[in-house]
Amino acid sequence: MANPIRVVAGLGNPGCGYAATRHNAGFWFADRLASKLGASFNHEAKFGGEVARAGNLRIVKPMTFMNLSGRAVAGVARFFDIDADAILVAHDELDLPPGDAKLKFGGGTAGHNGLRDIQAQLGTASFWRLRLGIGHPRDTQAPEREVVDFVLKPPGTDDASAIEAAIDRALDAWPEIAAGDMERAMTLLHTRPPAPEKDKP
């Protein structure tokens, strides 16, 4: 068993213009988790983000744009004396298809600027990540599309539904995640339901 989770940080960019973009998948998870737990976000200027409280859990949405996400995450961790291994960062993941959600502890940043800044601000990579697949332009009908352009655009209807389904599974696994039962949580997360059979002609 890992330590219970005391901070969930959902990554994204603030502002209406970014709200529906793939890069904001972490915000989508944070919003839905707060709703599930009956918590409300309040702006906390000292952390540079919005923070919701549910018991001993803090749900954080950095409002400093993706590249500076670490200020809010590390600020909350220091203020409440929370170890890095009790932090879960929910973020968009290019290397997973829409509909996939995976838990990971530590490791690299795979070029994700939000993760990079959090790692730098915490001084360690030893925190949990909830990787929400958004797909990669190389796997689309426009493989030459720039990654930056891809992540800063909304997903299509099918991809959006798949991402929401992955968030649903993550929320279903939340009791296990919160308690630090990551092995059980991974089993729940990594098992995608079978695609519905299409009607035969």
Is residue 91 annotated as a catalytic residue, yes or no?
A: no
AA letter at 137: P
With tokens 């005391």, the residue in question is 6
Neighbours of 60 (CB within 10 A): 27
* CA 169, 132, 82, 73 torsion-angle sign: negative
CA-to-CA distance for 170 and 56, rounded, in angstroms?
Answer: 20
Count of H helices and E strands in the chain?
Answer: 7, 7
Strand order of the β-sheet with 101-105 is: 42-44, 49-54, 57-62, 7-10, 87-93, 128-133, 101-105
CA terminus-to-terminus distance, the chain? 50
Residue from 23, 43, 91, 136 carrying the catalytic annotation: 23
Which residues are known to be catalytic? 23
